[in-house]
Amino acid sequence: MTTTAVPDEGYDWSDIDRPPPDLEVDGDQLAADVDAAGECTPSTPCHRDGCEFCDPAGWLDRQRPATTPVPGPAEDQAADGDFWAARASLARVHQFARARRGAPWATLGVVLTRVVTATPPFVVLPALVGGHGSLNLFVATVGASSAGKGTAERIGEESVDVGPITTASVGSGEGIAHLYARRVRGGGIERHTDAVLLSVPEIDTLAALGSRQGATLLPELRRAWSGEALGFSYADPDKRLPIPGHSYRLALLVGVQPARAGGLLADADGGTPQRFIWLPATDPAAPDVAPDLPAGLLWQRPPWPMAEFGTSRVVLPVCQAARAAVDAARLARLRGQPSDLDGHALFAQLKTAAALALLDGRAEVTEEDWQLAGVVATVSRRTRDGITATLNQVERERNRRRGEAEGDRAVLVAERVEDAAAQRVARWIVRKVAAAGGVAAHTELRRSLAGRDGRHFADAIDRLADAGQIVTEDIDGGARTYRLLGGAS
């Protein structure tokens, strides 16, 4: 069997060209394979050239579910084309998610981050713009509280088995380098991990950590997304923990409630939200009856191409359509055209295309991978736009309530001012009538009242009358007097 040269990075490549013995296959298919290959069985594969059973390129296609996959609903098909029906791997993820009452898109996001995490860090994208591109992938699963973001993570883990991977929660920017290395006695640096999947169930955690005074988390995550070197240049060399670029793998999975995503979207100037694939954790067209649960996929790591000459990096071949799109977008940005939230859209699409190819057991990005990743990008934009609309609605409601509160406050203040003025004029009337011997003419009182208080006179008289402090008397000729009652002062 032809072998493929790969970089020596301490990985066990002994089984790179053979399927794992515990892979589940359909019984009828297994019988056919055994007949075709003689003594070839899952436990004792023959590994002969041309054996369909041992050919890793044929494994994934034979993982088709025994029952017909439930296609996406008509409205999903109209919006997303035949995405889920395009490949057996996608159909399996879709059916598995619906059988477990999860969201297919969010489940796919989880699967892709796990596949990327399981891919060695020396596997990179070609240097289409600048240097080599990293496969490091960020996915945000979007839904209201209890919508199923955590459910999607569990379903994604069970629907496609990528083997053991290291998962961790997010902390400070300085702590990211410590996920991969540590200082040892004598001042040396020991690498203990090459790949980590960061899982953040709630966006509030990421936003809070990123908004702290002097926080370095978001800038460090942005560097990780691009595969750049990690670590900080402390004055004390014993505190430095440098992680070279493209020597690590990092994927990030974040759960997002739309109304609470403002903190992340607010970092658009820094470029953080542009690096995410935004996928819904809901399935509005979920069927009334869940489909049968298919067997989970066992991911087959593809044989890697030759390492790039003079380096230890394996560069995934990329189709011309993706190359042309990336180059055209870069040229537009060089000419000063604005990019706003879509500044990294094509790079994120290329990462997605590579993840879809890897999920399908291939180490190259084809035009179909690129087109399917375009569907994911459309869903991502649609989901992100929905978040923006939700945030705008929340802000409008907040402004409305603020305006109502300010109006109520203004009315209350005005009422209190009027009440205080009426009480002050009432006290003045009592003093003037008392000074006049207990009886005073209306004309004399009004004439001696300050002009600014004239509009409060009638209200003050009514209050005094209601309180039993004064009585109004009409005398001959239509004149009016006010008599102070006993005990009033």
Which domains, from first to last, does the chain contain? 13-64 (no CATH), 68-365 (3.40.50), 417-484 (1.10.10.10)
% the chain with pLDDT above 90: 37
Segment among 72-86, 100-114, 149-163, 437-451 with least mean pLDDT:
72-86
- The pLDDT, as a whole number, for residue 143 is 86
pLDDT in tens, 144-184: 877 667 889 999 999 999 999 999 988 788 889 999 998 88
Reported confidence tier of residue 339, pLDDT bands at 50, 70, 90: low
- The pLDDT, as a whole number, for residue 400 is 78
**SS3 labels along the chain:** CCCCCCCCCCCCCCCCCCCCCCCCCCHHHHHHHHHHHCCCCCCCCCCCCCCCCCCHHHHHHHHCCCCCCCCCCHHHHHHHCCCCCCCHHHHHHHHHHHHCCCCHHHHHHHHHHHHHHCCCCCEEECCCCCCCECCCCEEEEECCCCCCHHHHHHHHHHHEECCCCCEECCCCHHHHHCCCEEECCCCCEEECCCEEEEEECCHHHHHHHHCCCCCCHHHHHHHHHCCCCECCCCCCHHHCCCECCCCCEEEEEEEECHHHCHHHHHHHHCCCHHHEEEEECCCCCCCCCCCCCCCCEECCCCCCCCECCCCCCEECCECHHHHHHHHHHHHHHHCCCCCHHHCCHHHHHHHHHHHHHHHCCCCCECHHHHHHHHHHHHHHHHHHHHHHHHHHHHHHHHHHHHHHHHHHHHHHHHHHHHHHHHHHHHHHHHHHHHHCCCEEEHHHHHHHCCHHHHHHHHHHHHHHHHCCCEEEEECHHHCEEEEECCCCC
Mean pLDDT of 477-489: 73
Residues 342/380, Cβ–Cβ less than 8 Å:
no
In angstroms, the CA 247 to CA 396 distance is: 46
Segment among 5-19, 139-153, 305-319 with least mean pLDDT:
5-19
- The pLDDT, as a whole number, for residue 160 is 95
In angstroms, the CA 118 to CA 110 distance is: 12
Report how far Cα 269 is from the mean position of its chain's Cα atoms: 17
Burial 108-141 (b: 16+ CB within 10 A, else e): bbbbbbbbbbbbbbbbbbbebeeebbbbbbbbbb
User: 193 versus 69: which is more confidently predicted?
Assistant: 193
Reported confidence tier of residue 19, pLDDT bands at 50, 70, 90: very low
User: 415 versus 55: which is more confidently predicted?
Assistant: 415
- The pLDDT, as a whole number, for residue 367 is 96
- The pLDDT, as a whole number, for residue 212 is 63
pLDDT in tens, 417-456: 888 988 999 999 899 888 888 888 888 888 888 888 888 8
- The pLDDT, as a whole number, for residue 323 is 92
- The yes-or-no verdict on residue 405 having pLDDT over 50 is yes
- The yes-or-no verdict on residue 26 having pLDDT over 80 is no
- The yes-or-no verdict on residue 289 having pLDDT over 90 is yes
- The pLDDT, as a whole number, for residue 20 is 39
- The pLDDT, as a whole number, for residue 299 is 94
- The pLDDT, as a whole number, for residue 355 is 97
Mean pLDDT of 101-109: 95
β pairing state of 160-161 and 297-298 = parallel
- The pLDDT, as a whole number, for residue 372 is 96
- The pLDDT, as a whole number, for residue 62 is 39
- The pLDDT, as a whole number, for residue 45 is 46
142-146, 266-270, 376-380, 465-469: which is most confident:
376-380
- The pLDDT, as a whole number, for residue 41 is 46
Mean pLDDT of 398-409: 79
